[in-house]
Structure 1
């Protein structure tokens, strides 16, 4: 009689266990990052695909580990991940005269190895950098505690090679 009562529990318990294991394997606790894939126009998308082909395998000592979903418009390195998204929209701060004049505490414009960037501090301690004066906007998110100068230095050659100087459409 006891074996009859336990049988339905084990039949129900096995699928639940499989589901639990599957869900745990797909959780963000496994170290994989995710990134929203931009939707650029045709010209910017082509430039971004070219950028993807020349991005370094390592940035600031971290190996390339692309975020999900997989896309030629996104790339990542390390854990917590440095995330690059190509073909993003122009940040509103780029039009703010306070940024250009250096009067904005949350955003700063500057250059690293021939690539101009807008730096914006995020509320969680990360920094977001977006290229300026390039034919496509490239955004790089640097996690809290990581040296952003090393990241931008390592990405500069690829950006210069793939994304020409100019104004994005």
Structure 2
């Protein structure tokens, strides 16, 4: 398990506070199932500059994340990637629109290996969206990772190498 440090959107909190993800069941992006088929996800439609960033990120994504093997969602796209299935699923979408919640200076965020991720609830769990980057990367994780920041930390290296911080 990789611990995460909390950050307030736009400013560091004093001291290395450890983030504890809520104990709610965290499900993957819309359409994930516990069965054998890959998840169905909406493919983002970013501007051309972000597509280049996402293509570079896609090339650097690891074969395994959180101990889960690569299992890309449908439809196949260079803007999406996935690992595992069911409650052990991890789904990444690159080039998503900037979440409106980022306008809130009190929005919850965590720092994992130098990449800041906003934590945002959705209908059945949480999603993580990178902050301070040219392209927004969204990651949703299954309930197996409810208290485990390992997947976000493992994806951070590829994000920081392909989409340097804007701050």
Q: TM-score range by the shorter chain?
A: 0.7 to 0.9
Question: In 2 relative to 1, CA 60–83 (structure 1 residues): closer, same or farther, beyond 3 Å?
Answer: same
Query: Deviations 1:72-120 (Å, cap 9, x if unpaired)?
Result: 0000000122100000000111001332xxxxxxxx1121100001011
The number of aligned residues is 132
- Equivalence for 1:111: 111
RMSD value, Cα: 1.7
Which is strand-richer, 1 or 2?
A: 2
Q: Which 4+ residue blocks in structure 1 deviate beyond 4 angstroms? A: none
State the partner residue of 1:94.
102
Which is further off, 145-154 or 72-81? Answer: 145-154
Instruction: Work out whether residues 84 and 140 of structure 1, in 8 Å CA contact, stay in contact via their aligned partners in 2.
Output: yes
Aligned partner of 1:19 in structure 2 is none
Query: Which protein shows a greater Rg?
Result: 1
Counterpart Cα distance in 2 of 1:155 and 1:122: 21
Scaled by the length of structure 1, the TM-score of the pair is 0.73
Corresponding residue number in structure 2 for 1:50: 56
More helix by share: 1
1:155 positional shift = 0.4
Unaligned 5+ residue runs, structure 1?
1-26, 100-107
> Are 2:35 and 2:85, in contact at CA under 8 Å, matched by a contact in 1?
no
